[in-house]
Amino acid sequence: MYVQNVGPGAAGAFAVDFSGYCDSYTFSDAPHRVEGLAPGADAFIRLSFSFPLDTNCHVAVTIDHDNAVQESNESNNEVSVAVTVQ
């Protein structure tokens, strides 16, 4: 997954959290630390999860969950997706 600074100013260090759930199963990963990003720069974070077969899951990512970076737009720090495992 890529995390990108889409703002006009440099971003200091921040954490990225991953979590989710499946039909009868929840999971999370320790926060991944990004040491800062220049305007327009991105950082790649590699994740690996094992999902149970034949289930529906939901995966969520929260960037800068502890509000360490002052931003002009705080509403674009979360994304979630549905995953169907077959």
Identity at 81, one-letter amino acid code:
V
Tokens, residue 20: 């989710």
Domain 2-85 has CATH 2.60.40.10: yes
- Residue ranges of the alpha helices (H) in 7-84? none
- What does each C-alpha distance from 80 to 17, 19, 39, 50, 55 come to in angstroms? 12, 9, 24, 17, 17
Residue 6: count other Cβ atoms within 10 Å of its Cβ.
12
Report residue 71: phi and psi, to 5°: -130, 155
- List the pLDDT tens digit at each of the 86 positions of the chain: 999 999 899 999 999 999 999 987 888 888 999 999 999 999 999 988 788 888 899 999 999 988 899 888 888 899 999 988 88
Tokens, residue 53: 């077969």
Q: Rounded to whole angstroms, how far apart are CA atoms 69 and 14?
A: 7
Q: Kindly list the domain boundaries of the chain, sorted by start residue.
A: 2-85
